[in-house]
Amino acid sequence: MKKFLAVTIFLTLLPVVVFAQSATSDGRIVVPREKNVFANPSDNEFIGKIGTGYAADPGKFGLDVSLNYIYNLDPVFVFGLEGDFFWVQWSNKLEDVNAGGSVNGSLKAETNLYTFPFFANAQVRLPFLKEKLFFEPSFTIGLGYAFMILDYSSDEDSGTDFYSGYAWQAYASAAYKLVQNSAVDFVLDLGYRGIHPDKDNVEIDMSGFIARIGVRLYI
């Protein structure tokens, strides 16, 4: 009878002991995690990307760099802030000239467009497709404002103008994790960005397709 009573008391107190060991000194419950499986340490992310973009009015591709801060509302819906740097450079042949009647040459203009778009983004992620597609697809839309510096120089003149205007973007992304327990995802973006900076009723259309690759880190 005593042995039966002792076993009964032991089995009754065992869950209490386990619960007490799973709790911290301030009363929080410690949930054990599976080993070698990465869990997001925070809801905050940083994404850095580099690629190319097309500008309609110059008709040129340029360097595109993007920095993003992301806050996760849940695994599907996130929002964030984005700052980009878009640089397009080209040379224009203005006219042919004849130097001294024997040497032919030309007047050229070098132009650089430095565009700084800023966006507030909303993104929808589809993590439940990761097992089927082997990457996490997502879709992003953003609204914002852009500032542009037009710097030009030629054999006869040079100067700098400042333009600004509203901007928007929409693109699809794919995030791929090389190692399951890694805190880094590799990201690919493909989409379209609309930028129409103007000054004194003169508008330069910097809209076009964008393609970027980068990394996503948890901060």
Q: Answer whether residue 25 is part of any domain.
A: no
| β-bridge mates for residue 214, sequence order | 49, 187
pLDDT, residue 18, reads: 44
pLDDT, residue 123, reads: 97
Helix (H, G, I), strand (E, B) or coil at 73: coil
In this prediction, what percent of the chain has a pLDDT beyond 90? 58
CA–centroid distance for 168 within its chain: 14
CB atoms within 10 A of CB 94: 12
Task: State the CATH number of the domain containing residue 203.
Answer: 2.40.160.20
Q: Answer whether residue 74 is part of any domain.
A: yes
pLDDT, residue 150, reads: 93
pLDDT, residue 65, reads: 98
Distance CA 13, CA 90 (A): 78
pLDDT, residue 93, reads: 60
The token pair at 165 is 């205007």
Q: Answer whether residue 14 is part of any domain.
A: no
Is pLDDT at 136 greater than 50 in this prediction? yes
pLDDT, residue 43, reads: 83
pLDDT, residue 181, reads: 78
The token pair at 191 is 């989409």
Q: Answer whether residue 143 is part of any domain.
A: yes
Could you tell me which residue, 215 or 19, shows the higher pLDDT? 215
For the chain, how many structural domains are there in total? 1
What is the per-residue pLDDT across 86-113, written as a single tens digit (0 to 9) for each?
A: 999 988 765 543 444 444 445 678 899 9
Give me the chain's average pLDDT, please: 81
pLDDT, residue 182, reads: 81
Q: Answer whether residue 19 is part of any domain.
A: no
What is the per-residue pLDDT across 146-192, written as a single tens digit (0 to 9) for each?
A: 999 999 887 777 889 999 999 999 999 999 988 877 889 999 999 99
Is pLDDT at 133 greater than 50 in this prediction? yes
pLDDT, residue 52, reads: 98
Q: Answer whether residue 77 is part of any domain.
A: yes
Distance CA 160, CA 155 (A): 15
In this prediction, what percent of the chain has a pLDDT beyond 70? 74
Q: Answer whether residue 122 is part of any domain.
A: yes
Q: Answer whether residue 172 is part of any domain.
A: yes
Residues spanned by the domain of 147: 35-218
